[in-house]
Amino acid sequence: MAEEESEFTFNEEENEDLQETLSDVATEESTALLEESAEVDVSATANGDADSVDDPELEAIKARVKEMEEEAEKLKEMQSEVEKQMNLSSSSMGSPTPAVSLEDKLDADNRSIWVGNVDYTATAEELEAHFHGCGCVNRVTILCDKFSGHPKGFAYVEFVDKDSVQTAQALDDSLFKGRQIKVG
């Protein structure tokens, strides 16, 4: 029984993608400006008069290239700082959380019920209140579509003890928010 949670975090793969994208953009702009500068130099030498080239234009291009290179360097520094912070935050959490054993998963499954035909506007708190008379509720999971984020119309309710499951099954075909729910 997995809960879907929305958190805005950057994983290492996203950071690498971001760094590559930023590097690509800076490289493309630098290359375009250097090519433009080279074209001006070639046309001036082809005409034989290098003095006829607009020096202010060439200087502006060179200044822009230099700015872009400095900006790219700053971006690389910022990226390395972010990576260092991510490494520090992950190492400060101590050892990674241990994987849940198969026994623990089976135990949680044995203390859980499936609830079908759940109203799409129902919240976890409302479901918890509906099943609270059966026993202490440990967790309510309303499954949602991974693309739209809308509820699928069913949920899982995990209780603290196994005896609550049998009591909760008595609520099969009961009304919840105007709908006859299925409990299994």
Q: What is the pLDDT of residues 2-36, one digit of tens each?
A: 444 444 455 566 666 666 766 676 667 666 666 66
Q: pLDDT at position 16, please?
A: 67
**Token pair 């049998």: residue:** 166
Q: pLDDT at position 91, please?
A: 59
Percent of the chain with pLDDT over 90: 52
Residue 183 pLDDT > 60: yes
Q: pLDDT at position 3, please?
A: 45
Residue 53 pLDDT > 70: no
> How high does pLDDT run on average in the chain?
80
| Cβ atoms < 10 Å from Cβ of 118 | 22
Span 31-48, average pLDDT: 57
Least confidently predicted of 48-62, 70-84, 96-110, 169-183? 48-62
Percent of the chain with pLDDT over 70: 67
Least confidently predicted of 54-68, 81-95, 155-169? 81-95
Q: Which has more pLDDT, 69 or 49?
A: 69
Span 62-87, average pLDDT: 89
Class of domain 102-183: alpha beta
Burial class (CB in 10 A: 0-12, 13-18, 19+), 94: exposed
Phi-psi region of 154 (alpha: psi -120 to 50; beta: other; left: phi over 0): beta
Q: What is the pLDDT of residues 146-160, one digit of tens each?
A: 999 999 999 999 999
| Cβ atoms < 10 Å from Cβ of 75 | 16
* Cβ–Cβ < 8 Å for 156, 124: no
Residue 1 pLDDT > 50: no
- Sequence spans of domains, the chain: 12-92, 102-183
Q: What is the pLDDT of residues 108-131, one digit of tens each?
A: 999 999 999 999 999 999 999 999
- Residue 15: both structure tokens together: 């950071």
